[in-house]
Homo-oligomer: A and B are copies of this chain.
């Protein structure tokens, strides 16, 4: 179970397990839609009215720091992704939804290495219109 793994890793690194962190993990780890801190906050507020946005940011940033989540920086704000397997993203320019795509394989060896000493990471964003938006528009 993803949550237990996350809790173990947090404990192992000296982080304490609070109810707030568990609520966030419960919601975030199973999400597929790349939520923002605020959207997680708004959802949690329904059940836990006293949770604070700072705590949500704190927890999500911690998860990114320890490698259990990744951040997706788009034009307007930061989105968070609990899927840390290599993969790419499709961003619909109409509705803003972010979809997972297969990892795009890039031959990093073939890159001009004039400037590059070491490669740590790769982000591929494909922008366009999603099927849902085309379908709605066609009605």
Write the residues of chain A forming the contact surface with B, with a CB cutoff of 8 angstroms. 71, 73-75, 78, 90, 93, 99, 101-102, 104, 106, 108, 111-112, 114-134
Contacts and interface: CB of A to CB of B under 8 A. Distances in A.
Nearest to A76: B73
Nearest to A127: B121
A130 B115 contact: yes
Contacts of A111: 90, 101-102, 126
Nearest to A105: B106
B129 A117 contact: yes
B119 A126 contact: yes
A125 to B, nearest CB: 4
A75 B73 CA distance: 6
